[in-house]
Amino acid sequence: MNYYSDLISQLLWHLPVNLTWLAQTIHDPNVVGQIQKTWSHFVQTGQVWALLIGLVIGYIIRNLTSYG
């Protein structure tokens, strides 16, 4: 285990700093606006009801199948 952790740390240490997958271009920095837009789409499409129904059914099945 120690050999693998030393190997990985050495590999990560020698990586170039300017890797393209480390940096991303941000097109819309409005994070709160994106969350609000996503949530309203989630509610408008009815997926919130599917989530709630799935949670209730999962809770009922968990209680029916648990012992004790």
Average pLDDT, the chain: 82
pLDDT score recorded for residue 52? 97
In a domain, 17, yes or no: no
Number of domains in the chain: 1
In a domain, 42, yes or no: yes
In a domain, 20, yes or no: no
Is a pLDDT exceeding 70 seen at residue 12?
A: no
In a domain, 45, yes or no: yes
Tokens describing residue 66:
């648990």
Specify the amino acid at residue 28.
D
In a domain, 24, yes or no: no
In a domain, 50, yes or no: yes
Give the predicted TM-score (pTM) of the model. 0.53
Phi-psi region of 46 (alpha: psi -120 to 50; beta: other; left: phi over 0): left
In a domain, 53, yes or no: yes
Looking at per-residue pLDDT, the higher value among 38 and 22 belongs to: 38
